Amino acid sequence: MMSADAQKTLVFIPFPIMSHLVSAVDTAKLLADRDDRLYITILIMKRTVDTKISSYTTKSHHPQINFLHLQENKSIASGSMEDKNWAFLFAESHKGLARDVVVEMMESQKGTLAGFVLDMFCTPMIDVANELGAPAYIFFPSGSATLGLMFHLQSLRDDHGKNMKEYEDSDEKISIPTYVNPVPAKVWPIKVFDNETGFLECARRYRETRGIIVNTFLEFEHHAISSLSAEARVPPVYPVGPMIQGRGEENEENKRKREEIIAWLDKQPHSSVVFLCFGTRGSFEGGQVKEIAAALEKSGVRFLWSLRKPPPKESVEFPGEYEDPEQALPEGFLRNTTGIGKVIGWAPQMAVLSHPAVGGFVSHCGWNSTLESVWCGVPMAAWPLFAEQQVNAFQLVKDFEMAIEIKIDYRKKDGGVVAAGTIESAIRQLMDPENKIRLKVKEVHDKTRAALVEGGSSYNFLGRLLENIMEN
């Protein structure tokens, strides 16, 4: 044990949306648990939109971790995540506040500043780290193949003068080192086609950092991690996952709903239920809801469907709950599926996926949901909606051959409707006990927990990361 003044302080700046925050806090806990000389301060940039964040931070306790809330910057805080470079501007506008808080904090306590761990969208904060003479690390909550895609496209643009606009809506496919198969432009995140989003600018700045922490594990993304490690111009990558978001904070109402959902699942046969859930931002308009309903009814498969009400057009809100789901569903649907199906609003995703009755997951392929399905050993049908979900779906369906495709190049903004027949066929394949994807999912599932225990790949990468931080 070293003396108290050998204490090191690490500053985390997560992006203030729950999916990014929870993984960042989990990473902070992993680091703190491995070394009692490490103290972590998590700076919270305020957004009016996400009220869950304050309640989450007040309930997260760890003796070596504390949360500091920055004042709200009204000029930008009301922006929408759909604005072109909203995230970038948001982080940029908090630089001065973050620097002042860290300077004041370090003056008032013993020890040294070991570095900053910055969210993938908080690259402007690298300037603060540089100003304070501390190394910056990036926390990347998506997968390492996506990280490789960002680096590759940024290099095409900046080193080879390619105009990303030319790829938009094209049928072009290009080889990207972190993927086994050439990746069609139709599944790239939409933000890469527009320079004004600052998305590829983020990747350019990642190259300046001391390392990139990724919520993934070697056995799952072996090809991608190896190819990133072989890249001279990419900082060391530390896959320390899977960090699973678990139950999260439940209020009394959600607790009641969870008990009701689990009680219903308890009555269903083993592996018989398909679970449909599209993440915190996932919802569909009426026409698409009717196609999903028709597919479920025709397939005859038992189902649990998390049906969310779309937010008002052009709003920054998240999808909400229907007072009565019948208003969105075809007439007679609930009556015709009594006993074999259950339509719900909010879903306790991990509790559902880990229930033995659940045999398949129709998902938007958000990275957290992807890791959760692998952790629980539940095969997926891929129906991405936005962000990097299309490229996650491509990786699962084409590279890993461990998911069924519904429509991997589907983009919610295009307003297209996927027909009931396509959905029904995918659900039937997904729920077929003989489908070879079940074996693939089981293989990876068996390795998830081993990665995190002593001697496992993620445990070892975390050790290397900690050594690097403590040397600073």
Give catalytic residue positions.
20, 119
SS3 sequence of the chain: CCCHHHCEEEEEECCCCHHHHHHHHHHHHHHHHHCCCEEEEEEECCCCCCCHHHHHHHHCCCCCEEEEECCCCHHHHCCCCCCCCHHHHHHHHCHHHHHHHHHHHHHHCCCEEEEEEEECCCHHHHHHHHHCCCCEEEEECCCHHHHHHHHHHHHHHHHHCCCHHHHCCCCCEECCCCCCCCEEHHHCCHHHHCHHHCHHHHHHHHCCCCEEEECCCCCCCHHHHHHHHCCCCCCCEEECCCCCCCCCCCCHHHHHHHHHHHHHHHCCCCCCEEEEECCCCCCCCHHHHHHHHHHHHHHCCEEEEECCECCCCCCCCCCECCCCHHHCCCCCHHHHCCCCEEEECCCCHHHHHCCCCEEEEEECCCHHHHHHHHHHCCCEEECCCCCCHHHHHHHHHHHCCCEEECCCCCCHHHCCCCCHHHHHHHHHHHHCCCCCHHHHHHHHHHHHHHHHCCCCHHHHHHHHHHHHHHHC
